[in-house]
């Protein structure tokens, strides 16, 4: 029920990346007063200022927002090791996405759409994030909610403001594409396509068999190498040789104590973090009142009926009824009713004023009279109360110790690395490392994707080493284990291999190319012969192909040597019994099929599935219409100068070789 007492909230931006995900994705929650507020300032005349990628009306898309979005997308793709290289590509995607979102929100406002608090609150019950914030239908608590928002790098007003934008976008989609209709004939046609089954014979020629018969001469291979020499240019990657020393944070941590004074100092400096506000732990029963009409007037009869019902429940409570059971039976707050009306701990400023005033005025164990709010009539039971206080050091010592330890280790590791680096630049690498007791590792030549001893995969180090100029002084880079202080000793630039150096590679590529070409030729010949003689088996025997028979298979099925029937093999479903197909490419095989049987689905199956198919077709058509709408909206807003793109910032963000667009 917390959602019925508190203001509105959002969908996790980074779960809903992408327009269709925003449209079709799930919603989150509203917990704290606030909202969109202002997502930009009036820009006046001229183009977007520096640091702004685009303006959409009075809204801005900033460079920082784009970079944030791009980093989130890279992280979801699991490509963080290549983040620097991928940033320009994903920054371009993120920029366009953010512009589209702002354009859709602006258009929603223009046509008079709004996102009400009631709509926002309703997202809690059905949103994907309910498992995070309301596990089992119970609110995790204000503190955990705020921590959840902070983990995704946003403030609560930003987080909740975004939810309003997504609701507006979905409303706009419903307005634009909600009327898309699908005819009965289209439904029947799609049903037949999805559920018709076929059985067929098929002849298979494998690329593997063709490869066995290929024995190219050195002359052929040399000619292939010469024809494709451009592809081999600089194909031997650059290699580098370095010496390095690891400043290991684990070793430093083992020698770094945390004293009582350290804990006291941290506690004194962060007292505000350990102040606990006034809180009450409450349960309630809610009897809803009708929403006001378009004219803002209440339904007096509906309010009177709700009051009468609430008074009846209150009588049962005061007569000694079990509050939890009565809440389960009567409360119209689905978020808390199933938990006996339990709302958990609530601080000041987190609920509507009427509810807060009543809850904080109760004594422990006391039940209120009827409390009227904009949501209806509440009966509140106070389970517990906690006065504002400062937690003692003893209460928080455990969590402080870990934080202080990490801070001291981080500072000590950084200081040790800086000291070693400074000495290496002035005294020489080996002397500096020896004087500080740091072992030095000297490598052989290695490539960017190699792993150095004691470090494991370390893209941060490799990026630094391979971007350092020749004869550069020692430098340092942070790695998961701490810091590496390194010096580049030698660079072996990319090279083009001779034919003899890559003969085996040339032979493999020659044979693969020739086999692919011969597979196409032989499969075409197989199809032509089979059709000419009306005999697939004879043609297969003449060309050394293997003939097999499938089971009855649906369009989403799999067949050995062919794979999925949704690809090129879907052509088999268009054949008539006895008809022979053309060549069907199937991965590294070539296939020719002859249809034996086609089994149509039954009317009973159609009756069972037609509604599901109609829904999926309607959604596809709606998405198609909305995507077209978005495209046209962008063009119209750019043409009318309501969208202004800062081309210089866009170029900087998407220029290859830049670090996060800088």
142-168: per-residue pLDDT in tens?
777 778 777 776 777 777 788 888 888
What's the confidence (pLDDT) of residue 311?
95
pTM > 0.85: yes or no? no
* CA separation for the pair 383, 385 (Å, rounded): 7
- The CA-atom distances, in angstroms, between 112 and each of 9, 22, 105, 622, 632 are 21, 20, 11, 21, 19
* CA separation for the pair 232, 212 (Å, rounded): 26
The answer on pLDDT for 517 being more than 90 is yes
What's the confidence (pLDDT) of residue 599?
96
What's the confidence (pLDDT) of residue 308?
94
What's the confidence (pLDDT) of residue 321?
93
342-347, strands of its sheet edge to edge:
342-347, 279-288, 376-386, 371-373
The answer on pLDDT for 137 being more than 80 is no
DSSP assignments along 136-198, one per residue: GG----HHHHHHHHHHTT--HHHHHHHHHHHHHHHHHHHHHHTT----HHHHHHHHHHHH-EE
* CA separation for the pair 26, 14 (Å, rounded): 12
| Least confident range of 107-111, 263-267, 293-297, 405-409 | 293-297
Mean pLDDT calculated for residue range 448-463: 90
- Per-residue pLDDT tens digits for 637-648: 999 999 999 998
Mean pLDDT calculated for residue range 73-90: 75
What's the confidence (pLDDT) of residue 428?
94
441-442, strands of its sheet edge to edge:
441-442, 239-248, 482-492, 475-479
Residue whose C-alpha is closest to residue 653's, from 53, 17, 40: 53
Higher pLDDT, 502 or 657: 502
* CA separation for the pair 197, 570 (Å, rounded): 11
- The CA-atom distances, in angstroms, between 170 and each of 115, 166, 173 are 10, 6, 5
Element at 343 (helix H, strand E): strand 342-347
Average pLDDT, whole number, for the chain? 85
* CA separation for the pair 447, 455 (Å, rounded): 15
CATH architecture of the region 2-180+621-654: Orthogonal Bundle (1.10)
Beta bridge partners of residue 346, listed in sequence order: 280
What's the confidence (pLDDT) of residue 40?
30
Residue whose C-alpha is closest to residue 4's, from 550, 484, 295, 378: 378
Residue whose C-alpha is closest to residue 202's, from 431, 462, 474, 545: 545
The answer on pLDDT for 467 being more than 50 is yes
What's the confidence (pLDDT) of residue 125?
64
**CATH for the stretch 278-387:** 3.10.50.40
Residue 635's pLDDT band (cuts 50, 70, 90): very high
Mean pLDDT calculated for residue range 479-492: 94
The answer on pLDDT for 466 being more than 70 is yes
The answer on pLDDT for 50 being more than 70 is yes
- The CA-atom distances, in angstroms, between 230 and each of 188, 226, 227, 500, 655 are 54, 8, 8, 16, 26
Pairing relation of β-strands 546-549 and 197-206? antiparallel
List the domain boundaries for the chain. 2-180+621-654, 197-233+501-599, 239-256+399-492, 278-387
Residue 293's pLDDT band (cuts 50, 70, 90): low
Residue 23's pLDDT band (cuts 50, 70, 90): very low
The answer on pLDDT for 83 being more than 90 is no
Mean pLDDT calculated for residue range 422-433: 94
Residue whose C-alpha is closest to residue 68's, from 91, 40, 39: 91
Contact, 553 vs 560, CB < 8 A?
A: no
Contact, 245 vs 481, CB < 8 A?
A: no
């Amino acid at each position: 029920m917390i959602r019925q007492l508190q203001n509105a909230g959002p969908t996790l931006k980074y779960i809903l990346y992408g327009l269709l995900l925003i449209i079709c994705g799930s919603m989150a929650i509203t917990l704290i007063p606030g909202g969109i507020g202002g997502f930009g300032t009036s820009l006046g005349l001229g183009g977007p200022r520096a640091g702004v990628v685009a303006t959409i009306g009075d809204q801005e898309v900033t460079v920082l927002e784009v970079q944030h979005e791009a980093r989130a997308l890279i992280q979801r793709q699991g490509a963080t090791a290549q983040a620097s290289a991928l940033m320009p590509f994903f920054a371009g995607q993120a920029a366009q996405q953010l512009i589209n979102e702002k354009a859709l929100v602006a258009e929603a406002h223009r046509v008079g759409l709004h996102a009400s608090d009631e709509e926002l609150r309703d997202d809690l019950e059905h949103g994907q994030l309910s498992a995070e914030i309301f596990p089992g239908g119970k609110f995790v608590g204000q503190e955990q909610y705020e921590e959840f928002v902070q983990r995704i790098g946003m403030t609560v007003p930003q987080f909740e403001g975004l939810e309003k934008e997504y609701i507006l976008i979905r409303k706009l989609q419903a307005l634009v594409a909600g009327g898309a209709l699908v005819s009965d004939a289209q439904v029947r046609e799609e049903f037949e396509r999805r559920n018709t089954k076929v059985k067929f014979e098929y002849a298979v020629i494998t690329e593997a068999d063709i490869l066995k018969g290929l024995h190219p001469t050195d002359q052929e291979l040399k000619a292939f190498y010469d024809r494709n020499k451009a592809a081999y240019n600089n194909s031997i990657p650059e290699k580098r040789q370095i010496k390095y020393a690891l400043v290991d944070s684990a070793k430093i941590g083992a020698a770094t104590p945390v004293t009582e004074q350290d804990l006291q100092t941290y506690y004194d400096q962060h007292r505000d973090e350990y102040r606990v506000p006034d809180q009450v732990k409450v349960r309630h029963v809610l009897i809803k009142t009708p929403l006001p009409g378009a004219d803002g007037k209440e339904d007096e009869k509906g309010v009177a009926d709700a009051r009468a019902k609430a008074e009846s429940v209150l009588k049962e409570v005061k007569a000694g009824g079990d509050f939890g059971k009565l809440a389960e039976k009567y409360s119209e707050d689905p978020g808390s009713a199933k938990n006996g009306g339990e709302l958990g701990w609530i601080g000041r400023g987190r609920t509507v004023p009427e509810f807060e005033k009543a809850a904080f005025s109760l004594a422990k164990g006391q039940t209120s009279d009827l409390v009227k709010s904009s949501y209806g009539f509440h009966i509140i039971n106070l389970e517990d109360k906690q006065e504002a206080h400062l937690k003692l050091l003893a209460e928080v010592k455990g969590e402080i110790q870990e934080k202080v330890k990490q801070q001291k280790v981080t500072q000590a590791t950084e200081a040790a690395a800086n000291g070693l680096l400074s000495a290496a630049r002035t005294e020489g690498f080996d002397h500096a490392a020896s004087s500080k007791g740091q072992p030095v590792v000297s490598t052989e030549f290695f490539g960017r994707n190699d792993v150095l001893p004691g470090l494991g995969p370390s893209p941060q180090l490799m990026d630094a080493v391979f971007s350092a100029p020749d004869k550069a002084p020692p430098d340092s880079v942070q790695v998961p284990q701490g810091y590496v202080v390194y010096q580049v000793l030698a660079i072996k630039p990319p090279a083009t291999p001779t034919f003899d150096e890559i003969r085996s590679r040339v032979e493999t590529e020659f044979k693969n190319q020739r086999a692919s070409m011969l597979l196409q030729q032989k499969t075409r010949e197989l199809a032509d012969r089979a059709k000419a003689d009306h005999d697939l088996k004879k043609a297969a025997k003449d060309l050394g192909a293997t003939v097999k028979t499938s089971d009855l298979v649906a369009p989403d099925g799999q067949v050995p040597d062919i794979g999925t029937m949704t690809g090129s093999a879907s052509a088999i479903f268009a054949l008539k019994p006895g008809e022979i197909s053309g060549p069907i490419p199937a991965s590294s095989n070539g296939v020719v099929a002859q249809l034996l049987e086609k089994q149509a689905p039954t009317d009973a199956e159609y009756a069972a599935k037609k509604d599901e198919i109609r829904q999926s077709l309607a959604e596809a058509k709606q998405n198609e219409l909305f995507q077209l709408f978005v495209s046209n909206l962008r063009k119209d807003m750019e043409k009318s100068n309501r969208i202004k793109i800062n081309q210089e910032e866009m170029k900087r963000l998407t220029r290859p070789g830049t670090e996060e667009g800088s």
